Amino acid sequence: MTAEVPLPTGFKIGHWTDADAHTGCTVVIPPPGTRGAVDIRGGGTGTREIETLSPLANAEGPTAVLLTGGSAFGLAAADGVGRWLEERGLGHPTPAGVVPLVPAAVIFDLTEGDPGRRPGPGEGYAACENATAVVPERGPVGAGAGAAVGKVLGREQSTRAGMGYAATALADGTVLATLAVANAFGDVIAHDGTLLGGPHDERGQMFRTADAMRRLPAPPVTPGGNTTLACVFTDASLDKRRCAIVARMASAGIARAVDPAYTPLDGDVVFCLASGSEPPPAAGLEATWTLTVLGAVAATLTAEAIRDAVSQTDRGTRP
């Protein structure tokens, strides 16, 4: 698994970043006809148009996916993404013209910088203008500009995080990639179980959130404002139902890299987008095996991208 594997063909990623206010947004623009689904595990999500990715919705997939800072205010950036897409004739066809479908999910970063400055329509449009088909910039950029992890004692004693990316190519040439924003309440855990990011004590030493929680009689700070967001995208041929299965399996990557995960204080969301033009494989053992491989690899990539979000920022340092 490496960040140097190119994006799946046809996908573009764009960031808009306000480095002074520590906020931003990131757009994933897939090829037309891409299918998509979402898996939601967190108890405190902030989202928009998520229902369009439901297996029961008539649309097969999104026109773009937006990850953004600014909490609920940042969802307004999707208006700018929609305008950019409409200008280029991209969207769900209707008798009145195309209507872009832009599912979006947010992180809470309002206390990191200036709470009055957050992504809006102009910033979402700018992220689209910046979109390219190359390996994206990582670290404190885009939706990860104001991210931090290990916030049991508050943001002041947490670890800076940001945007991460991981990708791989399978034996048959299929490419999978994951873009992730790490803004979790819990810690980010390395492959070997050591801490990549977590809370700091008065001496500046990191410690494990799960250990501290057992000793705390009450919350030491007002909790809230935590989220891990991920978008898995691939050139595999998957229908909407299979995208949902991959998204669900990919969510396991959050639990591998974040501890604790899926808490009532987190808004964990995982998208899955698939652009393959071939018909999905028919049901049977081979199709089930292929889907299982894709989901397993997606979970590994999600964990890797979350770790990359910390490693590409100021590893082990406070905000």
Predicted pLDDT of residue 80: 98
Residue-wise pLDDT tens digits, 253-291: 999 999 999 999 899 999 999 999 877 667 777 788 889
Determine, yes or no, domain membership for 7. no
For residue 10, is pLDDT > 90?
A: yes
> For position 71, which CATH number holds?
3.60.70.12
Could you list the residue range(s) of the whole structural domain that residue 235 is in? 12-311
Determine, yes or no, domain membership for 6. no
For residue 317, is pLDDT > 80?
A: no
For residue 182, is pLDDT > 80?
A: yes
Determine, yes or no, domain membership for 140. yes
Residue 199 corresponds to which amino acid? P
Determine, yes or no, domain membership for 3. no
Determine, yes or no, domain membership for 316. no
State the pTM of this model: 0.94
Predicted pLDDT of residue 4: 72
Determine, yes or no, domain membership for 317. no
Determine, yes or no, domain membership for 58. yes
Determine, yes or no, domain membership for 164. yes
Predicted pLDDT of residue 117: 92
Residue-wise pLDDT tens digits, 206-257: 999 998 888 877 766 665 689 999 999 999 999 999 999 999 999 999 999 9
Give me the number of domains the chain comprises. Answer: 1
Predicted pLDDT of residue 218: 72
